[in-house]
Amino acid sequence: MADAGRVAVRVIMLGAPGAGKGTQAERFAKARGIPRISTGDILREAVQAGTELGRAARTTMEAGRLVSDEIMIGVVKERLLKKDADVGFVLDGFPRTVTQAEALDTMLDKSASLVIVDIEVPEDVLVKRLAERRICGNCGWGATPGVASCARCGGPLVTRSDDGEETVRERLRVYARNTQPLVDFYCRRSTFRSVDGDQTLESVAADLSAAVASVIGGRQ
């Protein structure tokens, strides 16, 4: 439940790998004082830490395929129970299948709108962006374009192990097959919005804020 008098802001970011979901989700979440929940970051941290989850996910991630719905639904269910998610959240990388989206609907009470934002970027732009993307070699945190070291721990930036050319192609194929149907699943809802992701960071951020405001408007 949200604090009395404050409506929770719940946002799902949809978009292909490289669409800028992570960067925009981080920025939006910070501005609103809500957590960004990135399932990719949770998995990468688990891989780095060598936990059971990390061991289960590693090979699948490196091949650019999707970790099982069962595992992912469990991860998100547990994460949403943490206190900081009471005031809302930005989900980045989840749901990625219709099964995950249906499970998410059952996890959430109806006290606040669920805003779904699809960030659209042409495929040739995605491939170029993914080739240039960097993450922290220490903690796995995604890096904002243009920065020299990790904003969280100061660690060195490296290319993601699943951002090689072949894996990128596989991830885009996986996105088209499993995640694009999510747009069909959500697009008839009155809380669904599309944002043009092929613009400057600032313009995408402004459009994202406007899209969320158009749903939750003056209710905050």
* Residue 21 among the catalytic residues: yes
Contact 19, 30 (CB under 8 A): no
> In 66-180, at which residue ranges do the beta strands (DSSP E only) sit?
88-92, 114-120, 135-136, 157-158
* Residue 133 among the catalytic residues: yes
Determine if 17 is a binding residue for ligand AMP (CB under 6 A): yes
Determine if 72 is a binding residue for ligand AMP (CB under 6 A): yes
Determine if 91 is a binding residue for ligand AMP (CB under 6 A): no
DSSP 8-state secondary structure symbol assigned to residue 178? I
What part of residues 156-215 is at the interface with ligand AMP (CB under 6 A)? 162, 171
Token pair for 95? 């749901």
How far apart (Å, rounded) are the C-alpha atoms in residues 195 and 84?
A: 27
What part of residues 101-160 is at the interface with ligand AMP (CB under 6 A)? none
* Residue 160 among the catalytic residues: yes
Task: Pick from 2, 58, 60, 164 the residue near ligand AMP by CB under 6 A.
Answer: 60
Residue nearest to ligand AMP (CB): 40
Token pair for 110? 């109806």
Q: Is the dihedral of CA 162, 174, 130, 195 positive or negative?
A: negative
* Residue 171 among the catalytic residues: yes
Catalytic residue among 27, 36, 96, 129: 96
CA 78 to chain centroid, in Å, comes to: 16
Candidate segments 46-54, 94-102, 117-125, 144-152, binder of ligand AMP by CB under 6 A: 94-102
Q: 32 or 44, CB closer to ligand AMP?
A: 44
Token pair for 200? 């400057």
* Residue 10 among the catalytic residues: no
> In 52-140, at which residue ranges do the beta strands (DSSP E only) sit?
88-92, 114-120, 135-136
Minimum CB–partner distance for residue 68 and ligand AMP (Å): 7
Token pair for 52? 């059971």
Task: Pick from 34, 66, 115, 150 the residue near ligand AMP by CB under 6 A.
Answer: 66
Strand partners, 136: 157
> What residues act catalytically?
21, 96, 133, 160, 171
- Binding positions for ligand AMP, rule: CB under 6 A: 17, 39-40, 43, 60-61, 64-67, 72, 93-94, 96, 100, 162, 171
